[in-house]
Structure 1
């Protein structure tokens, strides 16, 4: 009989098990616990529930929805394959942090109330920060502190919103919310910050590339996608999400096109791809919500595959700038093939996973007569093909010969990449198993002549534009300024300026007051006789006090009668 406990707890327990085990036992735990959690997710009966009383509120620690099961499934799968990729290279600190991070993400998907969701949310922030720190470099430490600061801000806004909502409604249930008050707006903002919505999105490209090759893979999967899950449950059909999602899409595309760092290119494409999901949530129809859910599943797989290939290149060469790479297909054929499959999947190339998920969102916009949204999504698909589908593999694996001849990475990394490459193609060719577990019945057929022709035309002309403009696309040693410049450079310098001004004003004021007091003392104090001057100095202290009492009484009487 299956024990009805939250599956995420198994992964969280794994964080502590990995800390005290070594060798083969650690590897067994690393691979076995995610599989056990996956079995539990699908073995739990639909009515499985675990509630506890917390003051006046019911805390639902185990309450899976259909959407929650999809996200929990791909999170567990990501933990398993990510564990394979990290097996020989990751430190124990990174593995423990990654399992704590992954387990709390699965915990969010099984939460039925806002209080437990918030607890898992904060554990995720701590776990992901530790993953960045585990890289052990000066840059990773600085990035981790900025990352923690941003998520502390997000968590604070979310906490205030949840507390305000519970106080106003008397309910802590995690269900659909309407934007009818500041509390709900604060909850939405808290979710959007973690989803990477601009202007609070630079933390992704700032922190993720500073993690280790395996740490970056874990980071790409959980934070933004738990936010997508939270938005799917709490704010489906919220129309403000449509323009926000569209802005995220093009923001990610533009910055990815400007980037020279391979892992920053892929980090910005996370913002871009989450934008598609946010648009689907904003549209809010069954097809759109199915599309957002399916695309989150597909995105976790192909984005992890892309970052695995980039991580393998970094691990083997120590380089991550496109201007330093090229020609690696000659000595890293497996990495090149897997990276190219991931690039095709993110570009929605037919017979890959991106094709059968992203198109559901575009089609739902067309069915709802949101013509401007459909055109923007079509243009964005071309932009994605430019920066992730062509630019990343072209400059990293092909184009010029950098002279580097590294071999493919260790076998565990190769196995992880092959698994996800197979999943990308399998989902693209056989989408029905994924469609069957989506929250609503799927009647969408991705492989129609019209859809295939349209997509091939779009990709063909986008590819043609890339190669025609190749001289302009050539990477140079550049740095792109994003919003993180505000809190990395402007705010510290602004704070230093304000501090300097305050210090100067304080010193000037102190000098003025001291001078004034000194002059006053000189006028009313006889230094030779060492006694004060003036009428009151001639009186005894008792007489002086009587005079002042009389004066105060007179003033009081005058004011009273007035």
Structure 2
């Protein structure tokens, strides 16, 4: 008899997604799918609660081809991601309640289930399976964005399948150097397999030069699809880093770069969903840097930042998605003045903006400073880390500029675009309201942030609401606000213009395409020349054979005239004898 408490909770959501794919179309059946899409993550969350105790749980062992796979491992690290993914899956289900798309419903459940199953994987091969399933299931959410999304989805799928291939190759090399052990624990960079796995994670995590898929695919996905996509893939990658690469120094520098470079792109970007995609990359940098630092304070900060980031980033994507649902665009140059038509959405967007900017009493205020403080503490032993701390502070001010100010300002305020629309649908407002409430509750000074801190893997010895921290953070934020006001006053702030901002993806979308076209042209020319040479060779050989074997050729001149007849008669006799004896 199967013990349901040894089944990976993510598998229940994958099963629910497959059932949704089989449910017929129609309004009544659409309601059935919505029951699954909201109920399945609740059930998975209950199963996590029932399975997990204060001790690590290893279960679901399966032996395949002599390899023992551990399909379920829940401990104080993976448990946080499991609860978070279940929570945000419920909110996403409410947000998309108005949609009646069977593909979106089933893909969203399978995608979220694969992410949960991935973080609960106890070995690298099981992780690979769900790693690839997240890519395959999520690409349909991009393709639902329309014709423009098809090519972006293909590029997205190609990169993520490549990530999976690298993960599998790295797992094989790592196990070979580790006595055949595929357990998913600390990996490090001492082996070739460790480097391959790190590169695979880097693709999903958006390392510099590997990040372009986010800004390419997320803004082109469907409205609901973008919200769903923002929650799972990159956070699953952060979990893999936190599980396998704690204290790896190179991550400190990679993370610091990740926090800074998106700031410049986001400031000049016109598509607000793309602005939020750059902002997502910026926030991931803080987490990567914290994992590289590797101290208890840093890892607590990473876990807390992941938890609140999924919530406030989803809130920002939901608010812009609601605007896009009513207005039909997310271009800053075409928006403005919508606070008159969508005041509730505007308030929720401001709460999300304040949360990502780490305003006191809002979500990131109680988590992001833990990572920066951990860097500063370690700088006492390694002075070079003061540069990293300065980069993180710059990035904190930068996120205030592009996500804390730009997104709500150009959407709901700024110039009046003259658009008068309805407020967002009730289900979108409920989902945004839940996310906004969590942004406030999880940062509340009296008992609120302690709920968040209780989920952290180590004992949190950190007090966010000190006078020094509050004053310093307010100074940083108001400096960023003042800079924005001055730049706008003197018309120095980058104007919102229609256009495409080129990123590193230019290397394969433009330069790479040009190189391939050149290679194709050269191959065509070479084929033409080769064809001509081949035709000449055949023609020359034909002339030579004609000269030798034709009636007027050399063979006829040098052989007796009756030789051909004699040879033919001899061959006929041999055939007749052979047939006679084998009859």
Q: When the two structures are superposed, what TM-score results if normalisation uses the length of structure 2?
A: 0.89
Measure, in 2, the Cα distance between the counterparts of 1:296 and 1:428. 14
Q: Deviations over 1:420-439 (max 9, x none)?
A: 00000111112111111111
Displacement after TM superposition at 1:69 (Å): 0.6
- Against the structure 1 CA distance between its residues 60 and 469, is the aligned structure 2 distance closer, same or farther, given a 3 Å change threshold? same
In structure 1, the residue corresponding to 2:136 is in which secondary structure?
A: helix
Which has the larger displacement, 474-483 or 317-326?
A: 474-483
CA contact (8 A) 1:57 1:171 kept: no
1:32 aligns with 2:47: no
Question: Of 451, 455, 459, which aligns to 1:437?
Answer: 455
- Against the structure 1 CA distance between its residues 274 and 529, is the aligned structure 2 distance closer, same or farther, given a 3 Å change threshold? closer
Displacement after TM superposition at 1:234 (Å): 0.3
Aligned to 1:6: 8
Measure, in 1, the Cα distance between the counterparts of 2:244 and 2:559. 78
Q: Deviations over 1:146-167 (max 9, x none)?
A: 1111111111111111111122
- Against the structure 1 CA distance between its residues 514 and 17, is the aligned structure 2 distance closer, same or farther, given a 3 Å change threshold? closer
1:460 aligns with 2:478: yes
Measure, in 1, the Cα distance between the counterparts of 2:66 and 2:409. 58
Displacement after TM superposition at 1:89 (Å): 2.1
1:150 aligns with 2:159: yes
Measure, in 2, the Cα distance between the counterparts of 1:435 and 1:267. 27
Measure, in 2, the Cα distance between the counterparts of 1:503 and 1:537. 45
- Against the structure 1 CA distance between its residues 332 and 519, is the aligned structure 2 distance closer, same or farther, given a 3 Å change threshold? same
- Against the structure 1 CA distance between its residues 522 and 456, is the aligned structure 2 distance closer, same or farther, given a 3 Å change threshold? same
Aligned to 1:72: 82
Measure, in 2, the Cα distance between the counterparts of 1:271 and 1:251. 9
CA contact (8 A) 1:15 1:96 kept: yes
1:159 aligns with 2:168: yes
Displacement after TM superposition at 1:88 (Å): 0.7
Question: Of 61, 65, 70, which aligns to 1:60?
Answer: 70
Aligned to 2:558: 538
Q: Deviations over 1:462-517 (max 9, x none)?
A: 11111111222321112101122232233233212111111212211332343355
Q: When the two structures are superposed, what TM-score results if normalisation uses the length of structure 1?
A: 0.92
CA contact (8 A) 1:2 1:44 kept: no
Question: Of 193, 199, 224, which aligns to 1:189?
Answer: 199
Displacement after TM superposition at 1:29 (Å): 2.1
In structure 2, the residue corresponding to 1:63 is in which secondary structure?
A: strand
CA contact (8 A) 1:90 1:214 kept: no
Q: Which runs of 5+ in 1 are unaligned?
A: 544-562
Displacement after TM superposition at 1:176 (Å): 0.2
- Against the structure 1 CA distance between its residues 227 and 525, is the aligned structure 2 distance closer, same or farther, given a 3 Å change threshold? same
Question: Of 238, 262, 272, which aligns to 1:252?
Answer: 262
In structure 2, the residue corresponding to 1:58 is in which secondary structure?
A: strand
Displacement after TM superposition at 1:293 (Å): 1.0
Displacement after TM superposition at 1:118 (Å): 0.6
1:398 aligns with 2:416: no
CA contact (8 A) 2:30 2:100 kept: no
Aligned to 1:546: none
Which has the larger displacement, 186-195 or 41-50?
A: 41-50
1:100-119 aligned at under 5 Å gives the runs: 100-119=110-129
Displacement after TM superposition at 1:236 (Å): 0.3
Q: Which runs of 5+ in 2 are unaligned?
A: 24-28, 380-384, 564-583
Aligned to 1:352: 362
In structure 1, the residue corresponding to 2:360 is in which secondary structure?
A: coil
Q: Deviations over 1:190-236 (max 9, x none)?
A: 00100011211111011111111111100000000000000000000
Measure, in 1, the Cα distance between the counterparts of 2:152 and 2:544. 60
CA contact (8 A) 2:550 2:556 kept: no
1:175 aligns with 2:190: no
Displacement after TM superposition at 1:282 (Å): 0.5
Q: Deviations over 1:79-129 (max 9, x none)?
A: 000000001125111010010000010001111111111101111011111
Q: Number of paired residues?
A: 539
Measure, in 2, the Cα distance between the counterparts of 1:391 and 1:538. 95
In structure 2, the residue corresponding to 1:66 is in which secondary structure?
A: coil
In structure 2, the residue corresponding to 1:242 is in which secondary structure?
A: helix
CA contact (8 A) 1:259 1:265 kept: yes
Aligned to 1:140: 149
CA contact (8 A) 2:33 2:105 kept: no
Aligned to 1:501: 522
1:44 aligns with 2:51: yes
Which has the larger displacement, 413-422 or 3-12?
A: 3-12
**Alpha-carbon RMSD:** 2.0
CA contact (8 A) 2:52 2:75 kept: no
1:451 aligns with 2:469: yes
Measure, in 1, the Cα distance between the counterparts of 2:136 and 2:86. 19
